[in-house]
Every structure is written in structure tokens, then in C-alpha cells.
Amino acid sequence: MPLQERLINEMKEAMRSGDKNKVSVIRMVRSSLKYKEIEKGKDKVLSEEDVIQVIVSSVRQRRDSIEEFKKGGRQDLADKEEAEIRILQAFLPKQITNEELVKIIKETIEEVNAVGIRDMGQVMKRLVPKIVGKADPASVSNIVKEILTKTAGG
């Protein structure tokens, strides 16, 4: 089932069961998807990858908010954001393990013949489509930097 269709079905089910938080989260995602459709242009249909990117972006925004709420001593709001992340993650592909991620990164580095940190842009450009929605972008970036630094230094 396409992800957009699954979002609609899960929203309807959440409405029936009275899960206001889930309804709210899915509505926000669907709103973001509408903006993405407008951004792409008339008669353009969003791909599954586009939908996943919107959800990943929503998760990232909430993670940023959690940090800020914790700094401000608002654990109640941080907990709410964490609950919303759990709802969103249910729509993302299965997360890959760190070992799988490192393997994919190393393969990609070989594909683009990267030899140091200055090749990071090329690596990321080729890597992101392979792992979109399957790994945390910040940790991916850190691992790529670490491996490229070792490659250049070793």
C-alpha cells in the first residue's frame, strides 16, 4: 500500500479510536505533503521517496524541538515530541543497523573513489538515496566524516 494511502487509513482509524495525538501528527504530515506537491508543480505526483523525506524532515524538526525543550526545562513538551516521533517512525522504512550502515557507506566511498574529507559531498550525494528514511541523517554524516578522515589519514 502506498505510504500516502496508509497515512489516510491510519488517520481515519485514529479518528475512530479517539487518538487525538495521532490524528494531529498525521494531519501535520499530510499538510506538509500538500506543500511539497505545490512545490513540485502542477500535475506532479509525489514519489514514495518524497513522502519519506517529508516524514524524515518532520522527525528531525521534532528532535530539534526536544533539545530546545529540555534546555528550557520543559520535559512535558519534550515527552510530547518524543511520542510524536514514535508515531512518525511507524511510517518510515525499517531502520538499518549501524553495521549495515557502515557497510553501505564504505561501498559508496569506493563507488565514488573518495580519498578524503573533501569528497564528502560526492559520497553524501550518492549515499542519501540509498538510506533515506532508514538511518538518522546526523549520525550518517558523522560516520562518513569519520571514515573519510581515517581514509585520508591512513
Q: In the chain, which ranges are continuous DSSP H helix?
A: 3-17, 20-40, 48-71, 75-89, 98-111, 120-131, 137-153
pLDDT tens column, 44-56:
888 888 898 899 8
pLDDT tens column, 84-110:
999 999 998 888 888 898 899 999 989
Residues 79, 75: Cα–Cα separation, whole Å: 6
- Grid coordinates belonging to 54: 517529508
Residues 51, 76: Cα–Cα separation, whole Å: 29
Residues 24, 15: Cα–Cα separation, whole Å: 10
Domains and CATH numbers, the chain: 3-89 (1.10.1510.10), 98-153 (1.10.10.410)
Residues 63, 139: Cα–Cα separation, whole Å: 13
Q: What pTM was estimated for this model as a whole?
A: 0.74
